[in-house]
Structure 1
Amino acid sequence: MPHDIDIALVAPRYLAGLGDPTWVTVPLHRACRWSTAKDPLVPRVILTSPDQLAQLRIAPDPDPAEPWWTLRHAHHGDQRAWSATFDAHTPVEIIAAVTDALTDPATPPVAPDDPYETLRAAGWHAPRHHDGRTSIESMISPDGLARVAGLVHEHRTTRWVVETSVPHLPTLWRAYMDNNTPPHLVSALFGALADETPLVRELHRVPHLAATHGRTTTGRVSAESVAFALEHRTTALAQRSTPTPPVTPTPGPHVRKQRRAR
């Protein structure tokens, strides 16, 4: 018989903790056809795109300072090689926003001229720091717990850094994107940070900092909706398709339109 289960809704989402990594890996494999490295002796997950240009590695390291997730893309055409990394406690929904944008077949990808546009709309503010020819353009969340920084050198952004931290405690998680990362992926990352929709977590998996510095509420949802959430997400991503050009009608017999009777 269907039944309801208790869940936690965590906001802001950058405090929600890791979540389930399959939220990222399963759609990449099943919906986007990324292949997996089949080596039982290697304690990491490696997914490679069908064109062999992009690769996602998940290599949990005992050192919490090392990133668990590494996304790399090789040089191709006018696009230089780029990479992005995410620490272990980065919510998977934030990483998924980047991988979803990367695998979206819609072309061309659209990104705002101002990468901070979404953050500003969500109430993030922008102090600015200068150091000679190098400056740090940053945006800080309304609660002061999350920060996005673009390191600018000679009018060119050299790296993007996302950091979530609580005063007097170690940094919760960091993410990095190099300056060659496509703008629409940077925009996807920032959009996921600014999204005010709470993230769903199991009650026993809510991080302590989310309870003390965030907004956590409990609710009840059907067990079926939780069990099939990943399947629904994977199906939706698989159904994305590149828009097809309009079909030009084939010339055929001329049919005269009937005039309306007056």
Structure 2
Amino acid sequence: MPHDIDIALVAPRYLAGPGNPAWVTVPLHRACRWSTAQDPLVPRVILTSPDQLAQLRITPDPDPAEPWWTLRHAHHGDQRAWSVTFDAHTPVEIIAAVTDALTDPATPRAAPDDPYETLRAAGWHAPRHHDGRTSPEGMTSPDGLARVDRLVHEHRAASWVVETSVPHLPTLWRAYLDGDTPPHLVAALFGALADETPLVREPHRVPHLAATHGRTTTGRVSAKTVAFALEHRTTALAQRSTPMPPASSTPGPHVPQQRRAR
């Protein structure tokens, strides 16, 4: 019989905790046809794009402050090689914004006029120096807990650092985008940060800091909604480049139900 289950809605999303890595890996494999490299003796995940140019590697590290996620792309045409890293506690929905934009055939590749446009619209502001001057190279969230910094280098393109931290505590998570990361991927990451839609988590997996520094509400939804969220996401991403099948066609492969809420 259908039944309802408890969920937690966490905002701002950068405090929601990591979530289920399958939110990123399953659509890449099943919708975008990235291949997997499996080694039962090594605790890591490696996914490679069909053209062999991009690779996503998840390498658990005993130190949660070290990058667990690494997305790399090889030199191709006019695009230089680039890489993006994320710490273990980065919400998977923020990582997925980057991989979704990378694999979307319809995503515009042109650089936005203002990379901070979506952040400003969400109330982010330029941080101030000790002397009161604002920094043109960074943006801070309205609550002061998340920050984007543009690092200018002398002999290479400027890179980006995204960081979430609470005063007097270790950094929650950090993302690094090197200077050759395509601008539309940078924009996708900033858009995910600015998105005010709460993230769904299982109540017992809500980080303590989300309860003390963010906004957490609880609710009930049908178990079916939670169980098939990942399947619906995977199907939607597959349809970006695949025409809708006729109503009488054979349905696609079943995606196993996930334990974690999305």
Q: TM-score range by the shorter chain?
A: 0.7 to 0.9
Q: Conserved in 2, the CA contact under 8 Å of 1:160 and 1:179?
A: yes
Query: Aligned with 1:68: secondary structure?
Result: strand
State the Cα distance separating 1:47 from its structure 2 match.
0.2
Note if contact 1:128-1:138 (Cα within 8 Å) is conserved in structure 2. no
- Give me the whole-angstrom Cα distance separating, in 2, the residues matched to 1:111 and 1:6: 41
Q: Does structure 1 residue 71 correspond to structure 2 residue 71?
A: yes
Q: Measure, in 2, the Cα distance between the counterparts of 1:218 and 1:89.
A: 22
SS in 1 for 2:236: helix
Q: What does the per-residue CA deviation read over 1:163-185, in whole Å, with 9 as the maximum and x for residues that have no partner?
A: 00000000000000001000000
Aligned partners of 1:204 and 1:158: how far apart in 2? 40
Tell me, what secondary structure is at the counterpart of 2:29? helix
Larger radius of gyration: 1
Q: 1:125 to 1:155 in 2, by over 3 A?
A: farther
**How far 1:38 sits from its partner (Å)?**
2.2
What's the counterpart of residue 257 of structure 2? none
Amino acid at match of 1:83: S
Task: Specify the code of the residue in structure 2 equivalent to 1:67.
Answer: P
Q: Give the structure 2 partner of residue 53 of structure 1.
A: 53
Q: Is the contact between residue 159 and residue 177 of structure 1 (CA under 8 Å) also seen in structure 2?
A: yes
- The verdict on how the C-alpha distance between 1:156 and 1:82 changes in structure 2, with shifts beyond 3 A counting, is closer
Name the CA shift for 1:152/1:124 in 2 (closer, same or farther; >3 Å). same
Paired position in structure 2 for 1:220: 220
SS, match of residue 67 in structure 2: coil
Q: Distance in 2 between the 1:89 and 1:136 partners?
A: 28
Structure 2 equivalent of residue 113 of structure 1: 113
The question of whether the paired residues in 2 share the 8 Å contact of 1:85 and 1:177 is answered with yes
Q: Contact (CA 8 Å) 1:136, 1:151: kept in 2 or not?
A: no
Deviations 1:119-138, CA, capped at 9 Å, x for gaps: 000000013669xxxx8711
Report the Cα offset of residue 102 of structure 1.
Answer: 0.2
Indicate the larger mover: 138-147 or 155-164.
155-164
Gaps (5+ residues) in structure 2?
244-262
Question: Could you give the per-residue CA deviations for residues 53-112 of structure 1, whole angstroms, max 9, x where no partner exists?
Answer: 000000010022210000000000000000000000000000000000000011643542
How many angstroms does 1:150 deviate by?
0.3
Deviation larger for 147-156 or 201-210: 147-156
Q: Quote the Cα distance in structure 1 between the aligned partners of 2:111 and 2:79.
A: 15
**Contact conserved, 2:65 with 2:171, CA < 8 A, in 1?**
no
Verify the 8 A CA contact 2:109 2:182 in the aligned structure 1.
no
2:260 counterpart residue number: none
Q: Is the 8 A contact 2:157 2:180 kept in 1?
A: no
SS in 2 for 1:28: helix
Q: Deviations over 1:5-33 (max 9, x none)?
A: 00000000000000000000000000000
Q: Which amino acid aligns with 2:23?
A: W
Matched, 1:236 2:236: yes
1:80 is aligned to: 80
SS in 2 for 1:42: coil
**What is the CA–CA distance in structure 2 between the aligned matches of 1:21 and 1:63, rounded to whole Å?**
18
Is 1:94 the counterpart of 2:97? The answer is: no
1:108-160 C-alpha deviation (Å, 9 max, x unpaired): 43542110000000000013669xxxx87110000000000001246975210
SS at match of 2:149: strand
Tell me what 2:173 maps to.
173
Give the number of aligned pairs: 239
Map of 1:203-218 to 2, 5 A cutoff?
203-218=203-218
Letter in 2 for 1:145: L
For the pair 1:41 / 2:55, whether they are aligned, the reply is no
Structure 2: how far apart are the matches of 1:72 and 1:182?
Answer: 12
SS of residue in 2 equivalent to 1:163: strand
Whole-Å Cα distance in 1 between the matches of residues 242 and 18 of structure 2? 31
Structure 1 window deviating more from structure 2 (60-69 vs 187-196): it is 60-69
In structure 1, runs of 5+ residues without a counterpart are: 244-262
Q: Distance in 2 between matches of 1:108 and 1:137?
A: 24
Counterpart code for 2:8: A
**Is 1:162 matched with 2:153?**
no
**In structure 2, how many angstroms separate the alpha carbons of the residues matched to 1:75 and 1:105?**
19
Gap change, CA 1:156 and 1:72, over 3 Å in 2: closer
Q: Sequence identity of aligned pairs in percent?
A: 90
Q: Give the match's secondary structure for 1:148.
A: strand
